């Protein structure tokens, strides 16, 4: 997997939480900073040797999924946030032939019907990047899970990953990176084909009713994002032009058809490699917010932009980071129209998982450190979610013994 190095690899981290960002639910002047309170770590439901955290939100609240490793066995588990902490972990699936990666991570989602759906990645051939998106569902609250099935049916031993799941009515949909047109098993062997983004939809009975192409040529290994607006689904991903411009774009599913992909902002970042740094999306009605990473002119920056027309257009970008960043952004819209943004700040050879509140008019709160974090790939993608008057954070911590463990924290809205 081709990557760029923004600075020399670092392994600095600090396990102490330094604070959490809380957003007041009441109306406030845009000039006021977000309120800060002391952190509230939550006892993690994840055991030692865990990583790849992912958060999703339903009407029940926040759901956390992660992978635990034991030798060559990978196990996908989930837990839900309750008033007393995380629920007892439940196993979704396990395998010895999975593709486990720091950036291409599984997920679990509770649908409006109450059913659960999850995805993970399973090898399809010996080549490094030959793997499939595997789906499974549970209708008994996670006690048992269906046999796994595929959203793609090309049968090629190529990459299928970086999936983003979302509810559609009583069913669900997903977008993913699809390498069926690529030749060779490595990202450096593009041959006569390119990575694409595809979409699939399943009804309430988990029957597939659609599969379609979103974009025929995109960046090979940056995470995707998707959300439901009042006008349909919006997907975000890093594009790839013939001139190797790799800016972030959005495409909208309206009246059953995908719109022509449009850049949120013309960063014009030219790079002949995949930065493994995808965008984040959040939507509420016709309001959409998006965050992304760019490093044009070797200046690593993170930005956010807001839309009030379901993603047809976006306002001018607002910088998220301060001194420099590794990206790995997340973004959640808040009830007052502002957004909670998180990212990995990288300055003075130290990496920190930070959060701040950003308003559509460009006002930013002071950044708040959630946790020290490794500046290498081992820290993966930190996550944030907002539900039931609470902000929940999840990240991967390097332990004293050299292993990894998923950690979580939360804070109530005042």
Residue whose structure tokens are 């009583």? 170
Say how far apart CA 221 and CA 330 lie, in whole Å: 17
Q: Are 198 and 152 in contact (CB under 8 A)?
A: yes
Q: Which long-range contacts (CB under 8 A, 24 or more apart) does 131-136 make?
A: 131/99, 131/159, 131/160, 131/161, 132/160, 133/160, 133/161, 133/163, 133/174, 133/176, 134/93, 135/174, 135/202, 136/92, 136/93
Say how far apart CA 364 and CA 293 lie, in whole Å: 17
Least Cα distance to 370 among 384, 381, 350 occurs for 384
Q: And the tokens for 354?
A: 């930070």
Angle, alpha carbons 329-412-25 (nearest 5°): 85
Q: Which residues pair with residue 62 across a beta bridge?
A: 57
Angle, alpha carbons 396-397-402 (nearest 5°): 120
Compute the residue count for the chain: 414
Could you tell me how far CA 247 lies from the centroid of its own chain?
A: 17
Say how far apart CA 395 and CA 373 lie, in whole Å: 8
Least Cα distance to 353 among 393, 386, 317, 323 occurs for 393
Say how far apart CA 137 and CA 92 lie, in whole Å: 9
pLDDT (0 to 100) of residue 12: 28
pLDDT (0 to 100) of residue 39: 60
Q: Are 137 and 119 in contact (CB under 8 A)?
A: no
pLDDT (0 to 100) of residue 4: 28
Q: What SS3 class is residue 70?
A: strand
Q: Are 384 and 332 in contact (CB under 8 A)?
A: yes
- Count CB neighbours of 252 within 10 A: 20
pLDDT (0 to 100) of residue 15: 35
In b/e form, how buried is each residue of 322-358, taking b as 16+ CB within 10 angstroms?
eebbbbbbbbbbbeeebbbbbbbbbeeeebbbbbbbb
Q: What SS3 class is residue 155?
A: coil
Angle, alpha carbons 110-111-117 (nearest 5°): 60
pLDDT (0 to 100) of residue 192: 55
- Count CB neighbours of 6 within 10 A: 18
Least Cα distance to 361 among 61, 44, 29, 26 occurs for 29
What tens-digit pLDDT sequence spans the chain (414 residues)? 333 222 323 322 333 333 334 333 333 333 344 454 556 899 999 999 999 999 999 999 999 999 999 999 999 999 999 988 999 999 999 999 999 999 999 999 999 999 999 999 999 999 999 999 999 999 999 999 999 999 999 999 999 999 999 999 999 999 999 999 997 545 544 445 899 999 999 999 999 999 999 999 999 999 999 999 999 999 999 999 999 999 999 999 988 999 999 999 999 999 999 999 999 999 999 999 999 999 999 999 999 999 999 999 999 999 999 999 999 999 999 999 999 999 999 999 999 999 999 999 999 999 989 999 999 999 999 999 999 989 999 999 998 888 999 999 997 764
Could you tell me how far CA 194 lies from the centroid of its own chain?
A: 22
Q: Are 344 and 371 in contact (CB under 8 A)?
A: no
DSSP for 315-347, written as a single string: ---EE--SS-EEEEEEEEE-TTS-EEEEEEEEE
Say how far apart CA 276 and CA 344 lie, in whole Å: 14
């Amino acid at each position: 997997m081709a990557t760029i190095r923004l600075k020399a690899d670092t392994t600095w981290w600090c396990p102490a939480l330094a604070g959490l960002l809380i957003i007041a639910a009441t109306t406030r002047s845009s000039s006021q900073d977000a309120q800060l309170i002391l952190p509230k770590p939550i006892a993690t439901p994840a055991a030692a040797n865990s990583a790849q955290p992912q958060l999703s939100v339903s009407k029940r609240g926040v759901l956390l999924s992660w992978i635990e490793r034991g030798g060559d066995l990978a196990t996908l588990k989930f837990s839900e946030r309750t008033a007393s902490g995380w629920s007892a972990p439940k196993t979704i699936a396990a395998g010895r032939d999975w593709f486990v990666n720091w950036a291409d991570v599984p997920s679990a989602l509770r649908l409006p019907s109450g059913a659960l759906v999850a995805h993970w990645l399973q090898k399809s051939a010996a080549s490094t990047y030959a793997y499939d998106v595997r789906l499974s569902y549970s209708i008994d609250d996670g006690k048992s899970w269906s046999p796994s099935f595929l959203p793609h049916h090309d049968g090629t031993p190529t990459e299928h990953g970086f999936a983003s799941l979302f509810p559609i009515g009583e069913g669900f949909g997903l977008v993913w990176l699809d390498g069926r047109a690529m030749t060779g098993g490595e990202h450096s062997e593009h041959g006569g084909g390119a990575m694409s983004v595809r979409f699939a939809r399943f009804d309430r009975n988990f029957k597939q009713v659609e599969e379609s192409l979103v974009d025929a040529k995109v960046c090979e290994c940056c995470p995707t994002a998707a959300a439901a607006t009042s006008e349909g689904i919006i997907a975000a991903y890093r594009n790839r032009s013939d001139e190797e411009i790799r800016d972030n774009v959005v495409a909208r599913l309206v009246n059953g058809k995908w719109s022509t992909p449009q850049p949120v902002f013309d960063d014009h970042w030219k790079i002949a490699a995949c930065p493994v740094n995808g965008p984040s999306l959040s939507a509420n009605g016709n309001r959409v917010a998006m965050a992304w990473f760019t490093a044009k002119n070797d200046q690593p920056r993170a930005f956010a932009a807001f839309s009030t027309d379901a993603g047809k257009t976006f306002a001018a970008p607002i910088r998220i980071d301060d001194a420099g960043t590794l990206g790995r952004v997340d973004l959640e819209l808040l009830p007052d129209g502002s957004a909670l943004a998180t990212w990995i700040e990288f300055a003075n050879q130290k990496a920190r998982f930070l959060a701040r509140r950003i308003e559509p008019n460009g006002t930013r709160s002071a950044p708040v450190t959630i946790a020290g974090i490794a500046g290498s790939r081992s820290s993966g993608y930190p996550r944030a979610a907002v539900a039931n008057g609470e902000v929940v954070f999840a990240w991967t911590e390097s332990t004293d013994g050299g292993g990894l463990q998923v950690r979580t924290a939360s804070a109530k809205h005042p």
